[in-house]
Amino acid sequence: MRLQLDLLGFKDYKEFLNSSLWADFRSRLRKAHNCSKCARCGSTEGINLHHMSYKALLDPANIAVLCRDCHKIQHTKVGINYGLKNSEQLKSQLKKETKEQNKKKKLKRLIDSQKKDKA
């Protein structure tokens, strides 16, 4: 859990859940998948998104759509894989974007460091 939060620049899971990164990911996930129904019992009330592992916070296959009750159960029992199926398309798209963002960040850092050299 520590590792990926650090990597993404968050100090804890709560901060991640309150971030625009997560909000954006969540809305895209909802568009790409039908996230209105519990994967365990089929309920449509009190729907939560659950991370099956905290090592892959932005991997759709690692996200389970569960109702509040099933979410609780999932946290007390050793998890069954309720991860989103057919998530490869969104996953590869996100991967591509992350790569591009990293490229841009690197480029920006390079430009910034060159500016510093001149100054």
Candidate segments 6-14, 66-74, 77-85, 100-108, binder of Zn ion by CB under 5 A: 66-74
Is 39 a binder of Zn ion (CB under 5 A)?
A: no
Is residue 67 involved in binding Zn ion (CB under 5 A)? yes
Distance CA 10, CA 13 (A): 7
Q: Decide if residue 70 touches Zn ion (CB under 5 A).
A: yes
- CB of residue 114 to Zn ion, shortest distance in Å: 44
Quick one: which of 40, 57, 83, 84 contacts Zn ion (CB under 5 A)? Answer: 40
Residues near 84 by Cβ (< 8 Å), separated by ≥ 6?
A: 29, 33, 35, 60, 61, 63, 64, 65
Comparing C-alpha atoms, which of 25, 20, 18 is closest to residue 60? 25
Q: Which residues bind Zn ion (CB under 5 A)?
A: 38, 40-41, 43, 50, 67, 70
